[in-house]
Amino acid sequence: MTHFADRLLQACESKGAPVCVGIDPVLEKLPAPLRVPGADVHQAADAIRQFVEGVIDAVADLVPCVKFQSACFERYLWPGVEVYHRMIELARQRGLVVIGDAKRGDIGISAEHYAAGNLGDHVLPGSGLGPDALTLNSYLGGDSVQPFIDLSVKQGKGLFALVRTSNPGGDAIQGLALRDGGTVADAVAKLVAQWGDASVGGSGYSLLGAVVGATKPQDALRLRKLMPRQIFLVPGFGAQGGTADDVRACFNPDKRGAIITASRSVLFAFDKKPGDWKRAIADAAVDLKQQVRAILA
Amino acid sequence: MTHFADRLLQACESKGAPVCVGIDPVLEKLPAPLRVPGADVHQAADAIRQFVEGVIDAVADLVPCVKFQSACFERYLWPGVEVYHRMIELARQRGLVVIGDAKRGDIGISAEHYAAGNLGDHVLPGSGLGPDALTLNSYLGGDSVQPFIDLSVKQGKGLFALVRTSNPGGDAIQGLALRDGGTVADAVAKLVAQWGDASVGGSGYSLLGAVVGATKPQDALRLRKLMPRQIFLVPGFGAQGGTADDVRACFNPDKRGAIITASRSVLFAFDKKPGDWKRAIADAAVDLKQQVRAILA
């Protein structure tokens, strides 16, 4: 069983760029042939399944990693959740490293249940294998994160804890100044580094990574120092406004340690490019790789 | 359409105590007749459905409110999620105010999707009605909370944002001291008060409440002042070690403004009381009411 961080970094190397395509399907934005106006939850979930199958097919040979936005599937209740799990399985079969972006967080036995339900449960028949990694919200503290770490160690999985987000309101809590110096996000970063320290792979990176938004290069540089052994999952490139400097700041000097995610700019690339929608998505994935390679060159 | 806070407080009054039974079913702890060793996800979800039906039947006429722990259902993938939604519907039909304890939080369109999927979507055929209220994790800031507020206003629903939790690790982030005074939890409390201010009902309480753990009376007193218009959802009574003083501190001087939740001590009451498991649960719910009434007397 290969350590998650080693597996992710190796996939980035073999596919030629540390990028991730975010799969955040939105019913109203599907390619015209897949649209189903007035759909009920079952029809909606099925249309999304067809779209995601196409997306996986378009990008599987091009990128190392995809990230599934749980909210976009949960919206369609249990039919949507079934599509979420089945498409994660398909993506893994196609050789992609798969991140479940569910931002879960709870305490005690609830945290154990979230871990088992979202990262696969090796003791429960028929429970599926789940994504390779999961995003977490660690506001509840270390005992809310530990059950996820324990299961990840056991199953070769990974985690990304929310540290710094790129949305306009992200500062309200994450940016608060602490009495002992630094911000709340800095303190969370130190905790994440500490929680992940016992689970470092051969690559030198922990199975516990961090979500660090790509819109503030000063932040990213500081967080990079506070979390040398965390792989940064960096959303906000492209549609959300992250720049080349923002992205560069997320990597270690050896140009490893981060994975750059783009969602809308790849997923809905067909909006700006008439013709075959799968081709437009594949082209956008290649563009993303080239942009990130250029930034790191 | 009655405002959520008004509806919840009225239910507490008519049922005689501001209490909530937490529905956190655990397969291995079900009553003996419902146990299914070696179950797959479908059998597990079905056993949990039978148990939760019994729990709802046992407590519906006794307590104002139940809280469903999403993690315990998500563990069994989409069959579990179907049981979650169907049992929430059943509980609402039985006249209970229902809280979905899912601790969701994300930004932009993902927050909108979580809101629609977890609080009901009035435009999507077959999407169900969802629980009356949902718990949130607001670490991502105000723009992560606003889509939930907007949908709640539209649909007469409510929210409870995590402010202070009672778990051993809760202090690590929530307890950090800020440069400008107070703790991170205090700052979150002020933000929650501010975010909820535009959505206050006739009762004087906002549709945006707060989760405040019941283990630190000093904390609760301070948070009560910072959030005068928030209904506190107070877990940690009973099994998690909250005391009478802790509970009292969560209420306003008029003895309103909080709802006390007990999960394991009610749900698994049959462990300590042989015979009819539904009867044991009903008796424990009555005990919970009497304890809280005595504290408030």
Q: What is the mean pLDDT of residues B168-172?
A: 94
CA A80 to CA A24: how far, in whole Å?
Answer: 12
pTM: 0.97
And the tokens for B124? 């999507």
* pLDDT value of residue B243: 79
CA B116 to CA B151: how far, in whole Å?
Answer: 7
Q: How far is CA A37 from the centre of its chain?
A: 30
- Among residues B125, B226, B107, B155, which one has the least CA distance to residue B4? B155
Residues B41-99 pLDDT 10s: 999 999 999 999 999 999 999 999 999 999 999 999 999 999 999 999 999 999 999 99
Q: Is A25 on the interface with B (CB under 8 A)?
A: no
Q: Is A116 on the interface with B (CB under 8 A)?
A: yes
Q: pLDDT at residue B100 above 70? A: yes
Residue by residue, pLDDT tens for chain A (297 residues) are 899 999 999 999 999 999 999 999 999 999 999 999 889 999 999 999 999 999 999 999 999 999 999 999 999 999 999 999 999 999 999 999 999 999 999 999 999 999 999 999 877 776 668 999 999 999 999 999 999 999 999 999 999 999 999 899 999 999 999 999 999 999 999 999 999 999 999 999 999 999 999 767 888 999 999 999 999 999 977 765 667 888 999 999 989 999 999 999 999 999 988 899 999 999 999 999 999 999 999
Q: Are A85 and A120 contacting, i.e. CB atoms less than 8 angstroms apart?
A: no
Residue of A40, A167, A178 with shortest CB distance to B125? A40
Determine how β-strand A208-212 pairs with β-strand A232-234.
parallel
Residue of A44, A81, A142 with shortest CB distance to B169? A142
Residue of A109, A127, A191 with shortest CB distance to B41? A127
Which residues on chain B are in Cβ contact (under 8 Å) with A172? 141-142, 191
CA B161 to CA B21: how far, in whole Å?
Answer: 19
And the tokens for B35? 């146990």
3-class SS of residue B53: helix
Q: Is B121 on the interface with A (CB under 8 A)?
A: yes
Contact criterion met (CB < 8 Å) for A178 and B178: yes
Sign of the C-alpha dihedral, residues B10, B14, B20, B21? negative
Spatial CB neighbours of B274, under 8 Å, sequence gap ≥ 6: none
And the tokens for A100? 């479940």
Q: pLDDT at residue B40 above 80? A: yes
* pLDDT value of residue A241: 64
**Could you tell me which chain A residue has the CA closest to the CA of B140?**
A170
- Among residues B218, B224, B216, which one has the least CA distance to residue B250? B224
Using CB atoms and an 8 Å cut-off, which of residues 56-85 of chain A contact chain B?
69, 71-72, 74-82, 85
H-helix or E-strand containing A296? helix A277-296
And the tokens for A198? 């016992």
Distance from CA of A29 to the nearest CA of B (A): 12
And the tokens for A133? 């990694």
* pLDDT value of residue B219: 85
Contact criterion met (CB < 8 Å) for B78 and A79: yes
CA A273 to CA A283: how far, in whole Å?
Answer: 10
End-to-end Cα distance, chain B: 32
**Could you tell me which chain A residue has the CA closest to the CA of B179?**
A179
Contact criterion met (CB < 8 Å) for A42 and B126: yes
Q: Are A66 and A21 contacting, i.e. CB atoms less than 8 angstroms apart?
A: yes
**Could you tell me which chain B residue has the CA closest to the CA of A179?**
B179
- Maximum CA pair distance of chain A? 57
* pLDDT value of residue A291: 94
3-class SS of residue B23: strand
CA B262 to CA B19: how far, in whole Å?
Answer: 8
Residue of A126, A170, A191 with shortest CB distance to B140? A170
Residue of A107, A167, A184 with shortest CB distance to B184? A184
Which residues on chain A are in Cβ contact (under 8 Å) with B126? 40-42
Residue B18 one-letter amino acid: P
Using CB atoms and an 8 Å cut-off, which of residues 229-288 of chain B contact chain A?
none
- Maximum CA pair distance of chain B? 57
Q: What are phi and psi of B163, to 5 degrees?
A: -115, -55
**Could you tell me which chain A residue has the CA closest to the CA of B37?**
A124
- CA distances for B4 relative to A218, B90, B134, B154, angstroms: 43, 19, 11, 11
Distance from CA of B280 to the nearest CA of A (A): 23
Contact criterion met (CB < 8 Å) for B162 and A140: yes
Distance from CA of A289 to the nearest CA of B (A): 25
Which residues on chain A are in Cβ contact (under 8 Å) with B169? 107, 140-144
* pLDDT value of residue B260: 96
- CA distances for A93 relative to A97, A153, B33, angstroms: 10, 21, 39
Using CB atoms and an 8 Å cut-off, which of residues 171-200 of chain A contact chain B?
171-174, 176-180, 184, 187-188, 191
Q: What are phi and psi of B12, to 5 degrees?
A: -60, -40
Q: What are phi and psi of A159, to 5 degrees?
A: -140, 150
Per-residue b or e along B104-129, where b marks 16 or more CB atoms closer than 10 Å to that residue's CB: bbbbbbbbbbbbbbbbbbeebeebbb
Annotated catalytic sites of B, by residue? 103
B129 or B73, greater pLDDT: B73
Q: How far is CA A216 from the centre of its chain?
A: 19
CA A1 to CA A207: how far, in whole Å?
Answer: 13
* pLDDT value of residue A198: 95
Distance from CA of B297 to the nearest CA of A (A): 32
Q: pLDDT at residue B203 above 90? A: yes
Q: How many CB atoms are closer than 10 A to CB B177? A: 13
CA B26 to CA B7: how far, in whole Å?
Answer: 30
- Among residues A272, A263, A266, which one has the least CA distance to residue A284? A266
Contact criterion met (CB < 8 Å) for B105 and A169: no
Contact criterion met (CB < 8 Å) for B140 and A162: yes
**Could you tell me which chain A residue has the CA closest to the CA of B186?**
A173
Annotated catalytic sites of A, by residue? 103
Contact criterion met (CB < 8 Å) for A121 and B174: no
